[in-house]
Amino acid sequence: MKKIPIKFTINGQQREALVQPNDLLINLLRDELYLTGTKYGCGIGECGACTVFLDDELVLACLILAVTVDGKEITTIEGLARGKELHPMQISFLKNAAVQCGFCTPGMIMTAISLMKENPDPSEEEIREYMRGNICRCTGYTQIIKAIKEYAHSMKG
């Protein structure tokens, strides 16, 4: 099968790649660009571990053909920090011990940031509903919810 050239922006940088039609966005991120922060969990859109932003929209990298990101902008967990300074949501997750094994964390943080953009002051119920597509098998979610709440609170100033 002939490879297809694509151009895209990843975490603010312009890149080019040659992809197979059946390559998924997650294959491109992890195997070509070595951005392994985005995790491969279930592979069928149920766990949320591969959540990234595609043109500012929250999506699952395991359910997108790589060829379709031509001309688009992707942000992964690696694109959140400014130099050595972590994103405030990452800091809030650390402070609240919202990370145990860490496998779900990148996806959780991407979804949490998307929630904050849509609804800066969510109730606990709204947080839980929004985070429905991100599964954690360690924490029992308590500390994750707390981290998001604390972030929202700190942003109110």
Q: Which of residues 61-80 bind another protein (CB under 8 A)?
A: 62-65, 67-68
Interaction of residue 60 with another protein, rule CB under 8 A = yes
Kindly report the CA angle at 54 between 52 and 57, in degrees rounded to 5? 90
Interaction of residue 43 with another protein, rule CB under 8 A = yes
Q: Which of residues 102-141 bind another protein (CB under 8 A)?
A: 111, 114, 130, 132-135
Q: Could you say which of 3, 5, 45, 94 contacts another protein (CB under 8 A)?
A: 45
Query: What are the respective helix, strand and coil percentages of the chain, to the nearest 5?
Result: 40, 20, 40
Residue 66 burial (C-beta neighbours within 10 Å; 0-12, 13-18, 19+): buried
21 close to 4: Cβ distance less than 8 angstroms:
yes
Given the complex with another protein, which of 51 and 143 has the nearer CB atom? 51
Q: Which residue shows structure tokens 């379709």? A: 68
Given the complex with another protein, which of 58 and 80 has the nearer CB atom? 58
Site size with another protein, rule: CB under 8 A: 33
**Other Cβ atoms within 10 Å of 76 Cβ, number:** 23
Given the complex with another protein, which of 51 and 139 has the nearer CB atom? 51
Q: Assign 14 to helix, strand or coil.
A: strand
Given the complex with another protein, which of 25 and 147 has the nearer CB atom? 25
Q: Which residues bind another protein (CB under 8 A)?
A: 1, 4, 20-22, 24, 27, 40, 42-48, 51, 57-60, 62-65, 67-68, 111, 114, 130, 132-135
